[in-house]
Structure 1
C-alpha cells in the first residue's frame, strides 16, 4: 500500500486535447462549476473528505487486495486461475475506488497514492483482452466463466452478467481520473472497451436493455470528453431498448416476471413511476436526463420529470432514503414506506444525488437541490460510520427491541460480500465540490452551503466567490464576491424549502405548524429586498471586489408529519432542524427509543455538543415515556428527557433501539405474554 506523503499535482487539467472536441450542440442549460475550481474550507464536509482520503480509500484498496478483487485482474492477465470472489461485478469496486482516489488527488495530492493507482491501472490494462473486452469473471478461464456470466459474451447481460455494468463504472472512473490528473492511462482502457461496446450493440447489431444500468451514464461522460457521437448514440440505444423484450409476462404482477425489477416492463417514455431495483432505476433516470439534455428528446424529458414527481410525492423517506422493500432492493407501491423494514440502500442515495443534480441542471429549480441536500445530509452519510471504515448497506428508520417485537439490531460492517456501497461512498465524497455551484450565462447558482472558495468565469471575467458559514449547525451564511473588475451578474442563492415552510417539494411530508420566522438577506450590511425565482433569491447587481452577502436562515426545530396514506407514520411526528433529520437512540434515552412520545406541547432546546459524535447539535425536551411495571401489571407514562441526535450519526456507539418517527400520543398497546415468548425462544 502507500503512505500519505504529499506532492504537487502539476498535470494540466483536461490538457490532452479532448476537451475542445467535446462541445455538444444541445446540452444542460446549467453547468456545474467543476470540482477542480472549488476548494473547501468547511467544518462539516472537509473533515469527512479528509477521513475519506486518509481512511476510507486506503481501507477500500486494502480490502480489494485482501478479498482477491485485485487478484482477479492479475489472473485475467495471466489467463490462468479461478475467479476468486463472489460476484462478477466485483471488478467495479476497484474502478469506484480509483475514481474516489482520483478526485481525492485533486484535493490532497499524494505521490504514493498516485503511484499505487497507476500500478493498479496497469493491472487493469493487462487484464483487458486485445479487442477491448474487460471482464475478469470470463477472461480468467473462458471455458468456465462465472455462473452468472453465460457461456458467451453478453449472453446474460439482461439479467445477471453485469458486463455492461462493469464497463459503466470503468468509464466513470476513467473520466474522473483524467479530469483530476490529466493522465490518459485509464481513459485509454475505457475508450478501447467502449469502442467494442459500440461496435457490438446498436441498430442492426446486438440489442439489449442492460440489466444493471450505469453504462449509459458512463458512455455520456466519454462523449463529453471525446465529442464522439457514437458514445451518446449507444447510450440512447440502450435506454430505448427498455420495454422491447418479449420474454417477460406483461400480465404478471411479480416485478421479476414482468420486468419491472429491471425497469424493462415498458419503454421508458411510457413509464410513470419509480419502479424496481432502486439503484438501477436511479442510474437509469440519471442517464435519461443526460440523453434528454444532449439530444433534445422531449418525450424522454417528460418521462423523467413524471418519474421524479412520483418518487418525491409517494416513494421517498423523510431522511432521503429510497427503495423501501428489502426483496429486490426496490421501490414499493405508492406510499409504501414502512419504518421497521425500511431498506434504503446507501447506493440508492448515491444514485439519487446524481439524478437530482442532473434535474437541477435541466430545470434550474431549487426543489432538486432541496432533495439533493436532504439526501446528502441524512440518508447518504448515515451509510458510513464516523470512523470512515464501517458502513451500512441499508439504512433503517426504526430499530425496536421488545418482547412483542424482537429484532436483531443492525451494526455497521467494514465490508460486505457485495461491497458496492462502501466503494460508492469512496467516490462520491471527494466529488462533493462539484455539486455546490451551477452557472448559466450571467446566473451563478449557490446550491449547497459549504465553506470554501470557487473560481468562476462570468462575462469572461474572473470572479472569486468565498463562502463562510457553520452550516448545518447555524443558519448564518456569508458570501464574499471578488470579481477581477466590476461585473454585472446574478447571484442566485438557494432558499431551502425547509426555510420557506416547505418540508418537501410535494405533500408527502409537511410541517405540523406554520412558522413566523423569515429569511433575511443583507448586502454590505444593508437589508436587501429580493425576488424569488424557482426557490432562489435573485441578487442582481454590479458586483465589486469585497461585496459581502449575508443570508440568515431560521434554524427552528420543526415537527414533520407524513401524508395520511403512509400507514406507518399515522399519528407520528419526525424532528427536523435546518437540513437535518433527527432520531432518538437508545444510549441517550435510558436504553430505549420506541417508548418515547412527542406531544404538540413538547418544547425542544438545541445545543451544540462538541464532545459528542465529532460535534453535533442535539435536541432535548421533556416528554412522556411509556413505562411498564411488570410486577404490578400496569402501564403508565412518566416524564423523561428525550435527547435526539442527527440521524446520520446513529449507530456509532453500539447496538440498540433507534427511531425517527415518534407517536404524538398513546393510541394502542401491544400485549404479549412473556411465557409465550420464552417458550418460542426455547424452540
Structure 2
C-alpha cells in the first residue's frame, strides 16, 4: 500500500512542479490520496462502491456484451452487440473508478483484472490510434449512429470524441494510481490521432457530446504536450458556427440541445442536454484557468448565475425536461415530471469544484455540497447495486409519467449513470481541502485526516465530527513545527440563512442559533472572506478549532416564479433535504399539509436506511371517505427521511414539497 501511495504522490508532485511553471487554477485541490477518512457516512459508501458497485459494474459490462465489443473489434469480426456507440465508456468509467479505489486500497486481484481489460481495449485500437468499437468491428456496417465514415456524424450522435474523452480520464486515473503506462499509452496514441485530424487548417467539429475537452486537459497535465490543451480549446471554440434553423423553438433544430446555437463566449444561459452542458462548462473552466481566457470566464460566470438563480431544483438537481434530458426555460422546474439525471448531478459537482478553484468563493462549494448530499447520492441505492437514472421530486399513485422512475434498477440499456457513480464516489476525499500558498481551505466536513505542505512544512489536519447529522465540528491542527497559516473554514450558506446561492429558494424564517468558533477553547473573532471564516495565526502542534453550526429544521420556500412550488415548503436540516415516503406515512405522503406553526422533532435511527436522522411532526392530512364521498382533514404524524435515501424499501409515493394550507382540491381519477 505504501509503495502505491508514494508512487501516486510522486506523480502528483511531478504534475505540481509542471503546473507551477504554467498558468493554472490559483487554488489547488489536496489530492484524495492525501486524505484518510474515518467517517461513517462516507466510508460506508466508498467501501460499498469498492466491494459491490465496481465488481457489479465489471460483471455487467461482461454480461451485456460491452467487453465482447472490444474483443470483436480486436478480431475485426462480428456484429456490434450492444445498443449505443458510447457503450465503450461504461468500461472506461469503471476502470477510472477502480483505479481511484486501487490508489488507496491495494488489491492485487483487481490490479490484475484491470490489466487484462486494458489488454483487450488495446487490441481493439487501430494502428493509427483510432478506438471505437462501433465502427472497428465492421467498418462496412457500423452502428447506425456512427455514420459511414470516421467523424462524419460526430457533431450529432456518433460519440466518437465522447468515447475518447472518457478513455483519457480513465487512462490518467490508472496511470496516477499504478504508475503503469499500458492504458496511458493507448490514450496518448488516440489523442495524437485527434491532434493530426482536428485543428486549424484541418477538420473542424463541435463535439456532439462534450468531455473530450476535459480529457485532453488531463492528458496535457500529465504529458505537458501543449497540442492537447490547444485542441481542447479548438473544440470549444468550434461551437456556434453551424447553420441551424435559428427561428425554430425545437432545441434539436436550433442547436441549443448541443450548446451549439452560438459561440460559447456569447452564451449566458445553462442550456440543452444537461450532462453535455456540465462537461462543456467544466472544460471551459479548465481551459480558462490554463490560458487566462477572460471571455471564457465571463461566459461561465453568467451561465452559472443563470443556472443557480433559475434552473436548479431545491435538492441540487438539474435538467428538468425529459425530452432531450435537458434544461428547460427559466423557472421551468416542474415536480411531477422532473427528470434530474444522475449524470447531470455528477457533472454539476465537477463544474462547481472547478469554479471554486478558479474564484475561491464558498458559494460554489455550497452548491457542490447541496448536490453531493442530496441529488447525487440519491442516484445509487444503499446496496451499491441499484440505481436511479432520473431523480424524481414527486411520485403519486394517481399520476405516472413514463420518464420518471419509481424504483431503482440494477442496470440500464443506457447505463451511463451507474458507471459515473463508480468513478465519482471514491474521489470524494479530493473535494475536502484546497490550498493557495499559506491559505488552506476546509470545504467539506468529513471525519478523517489530511496531510499537506505549507511553506515546505508538513501539516496534518484531523477532522472529528458526526456530519451531516450534527453541527459540532472539531479540527485538530498539527504542523511539524510552528507555522503561519490562514485557515479558511467554509461557513455553509445554509448556516447563514441562505438555502441556495441565489433568491431561487430561501428560508421562511431565519435561524435563531448562532455560529461560534473557538480556538483552544476560547471564542475568537474571525474575518469572513467569500464565505470563509479566516483564522490567521502562528499555528502550533495540537491547536484545536471548534466550530458549531446551527442544525435547526428549516422550512424552505421557493421564488414566486416557480409555479409548482407556490404555497408549499420543502424541509431542510443542515445540508440534508428531506422527503416523505410511502413506507413511513400510511402510503400517502402526498396527502400532508404542514401549517406554519408545526415543529419538527429530529431523531437518529441507527437501524433505518444505514443510519439517518428522521424528522417527525404532527400535521394535517387530507382524508378521503370514498364510501360517503367526504373529504376532511385529520391530524397525522409525518415522518420525513433524507431525500437521498428514498426508494430503498420498495415502490410507492414520495414528495419533497408540501402545501402549507388547502386552497383547492385536485379531483383526479385513475
TM-score (norm: length of structure 1): 0.96
Corresponding residue number in structure 2 for 1:588: 584
Alignment partner of 1:439 out of 435, 438, 463:
435
Corresponding residue number in structure 1 for 2:454: 458
Distance 2:241 2:164 in 1: 22
Per the TM alignment, residue 27 of structure 1 is displaced from its structure 2 partner at its CA by: 0.8
Alignment partner of 1:425 out of 421, 429, 433:
421
Counterpart mapping for 1:627-666 below 5 A: 627-666=623-662
Corresponding residue number in structure 2 for 1:237: 234
Per the TM alignment, residue 8 of structure 1 is displaced from its structure 2 partner at its CA by: 6.6
Per the TM alignment, residue 227 of structure 1 is displaced from its structure 2 partner at its CA by: 1.0
Contact 2:437/2:454 (<8 A) preserved: yes
Corresponding residue number in structure 2 for 1:378: 374
Counterpart mapping for 1:212-611 below 5 A: 212-246=209-243, 248-402=244-398, 405=399, 410-611=406-607
The alpha-carbon distance between structure 1 residues 140 and 22, as it changes in their structure 2 partners (threshold 3 A), is farther
Corresponding residue number in structure 2 for 1:12: 7
Alignment partner of 1:210 out of 192, 207, 210:
207
Distance 2:161 2:400 in 1: 41
Distance 2:3 2:94 in 1: 21
Per the TM alignment, residue 515 of structure 1 is displaced from its structure 2 partner at its CA by: 1.7
Corresponding residue number in structure 2 for 1:169: 166
* Structure 1 residue 109 corresponds to structure 2 residue 99: no
Per the TM alignment, residue 24 of structure 1 is displaced from its structure 2 partner at its CA by: 4.9
Per the TM alignment, residue 633 of structure 1 is displaced from its structure 2 partner at its CA by: 1.5
Which digits, 9 at most, give the CA deviation of each residue in 1:55-77, with x for residues without a partner? Answer: 00000000000001001111111
* Structure 1 residue 180 corresponds to structure 2 residue 206: no
Per the TM alignment, residue 12 of structure 1 is displaced from its structure 2 partner at its CA by: 1.2
Contact 1:530/1:538 (<8 A) preserved: yes
Counterpart mapping for 1:144-163 below 5 A: 144-163=141-160
Q: SS of the residue aligned with 1:44?
A: helix
Q: SS of the residue aligned with 2:320?
A: coil
Contact 1:7/1:109 (<8 A) preserved: no
Corresponding residue number in structure 1 for 2:65: 68
* Structure 1 residue 87 corresponds to structure 2 residue 84: yes
Q: SS of the residue aligned with 1:257?
A: helix
The alpha-carbon distance between structure 1 residues 21 and 501, as it changes in their structure 2 partners (threshold 3 A), is closer
**In terms of mean alpha carbon deviation, does 177-186 or 323-332 score higher?**
177-186
Alignment partner of 1:28 out of 6, 25, 35:
25
Corresponding residue number in structure 2 for 1:625: 621
Which digits, 9 at most, give the CA deviation of each residue in 1:517-575, with x for residues without a partner? Answer: 11111111111111110000001110001101011101000000000000100000000
Corresponding residue number in structure 1 for 2:128: 131
Which digits, 9 at most, give the CA deviation of each residue in 1:194-241, with x for residues without a partner? Answer: 010111100000000000000000001111111111000000000000
Distance 2:278 2:509 in 1: 33
Distance 2:233 2:296 in 1: 10
Which digits, 9 at most, give the CA deviation of each residue in 1:21-73, with x for residues without a partner? Answer: 45552111100001111111111001000000000000000000000100111
Per the TM alignment, residue 516 of structure 1 is displaced from its structure 2 partner at its CA by: 2.1
Distance 2:514 2:9 in 1: 44
Per the TM alignment, residue 493 of structure 1 is displaced from its structure 2 partner at its CA by: 0.3
Distance 2:645 2:473 in 1: 24
The alpha-carbon distance between structure 1 residues 407 and 277, as it changes in their structure 2 partners (threshold 3 A), is closer
Contact 2:5/2:103 (<8 A) preserved: no
Deviating runs (4+, > 3 A) in structure 1?
A: 6-11, 14-24, 405-409
Q: SS of the residue aligned with 2:476?
A: strand
Contact 2:39/2:448 (<8 A) preserved: yes
Q: SS of the residue aligned with 1:355?
A: helix
Distance 1:220 1:520 in 2: 41
Contact 1:502/1:511 (<8 A) preserved: yes
Which digits, 9 at most, give the CA deviation of each residue in 1:301-344, with x for residues without a partner? Answer: 00000000000000000011000000000000000000010000
**In terms of mean alpha carbon deviation, does 663-672 or 286-295 score higher?**
663-672
Distance 1:44 1:387 in 2: 14
Distance 1:521 1:18 in 2: 37
Contact 1:400/1:657 (<8 A) preserved: yes
Distance 2:408 2:21 in 1: 44
Distance 1:330 1:78 in 2: 38
Distance 2:251 2:324 in 1: 9
Structure 2 stretches lacking a partner, 5+ long = none
Corresponding residue number in structure 2 for 1:680: none
Contact 1:11/1:182 (<8 A) preserved: no
**In terms of mean alpha carbon deviation, does 172-181 or 260-269 score higher?**
172-181
Q: SS of the residue aligned with 1:61?
A: helix
Distance 2:290 2:401 in 1: 48
Per the TM alignment, residue 671 of structure 1 is displaced from its structure 2 partner at its CA by: 2.4
Alignment partner of 1:42 out of 25, 39, 44:
39
TM-score (norm: length of structure 2): 0.98
Q: SS of the residue aligned with 1:256?
A: helix
Per the TM alignment, residue 178 of structure 1 is displaced from its structure 2 partner at its CA by: 1.3
Give me the CA root mean square deviation: 1.3
Per the TM alignment, residue 9 of structure 1 is displaced from its structure 2 partner at its CA by: 3.5
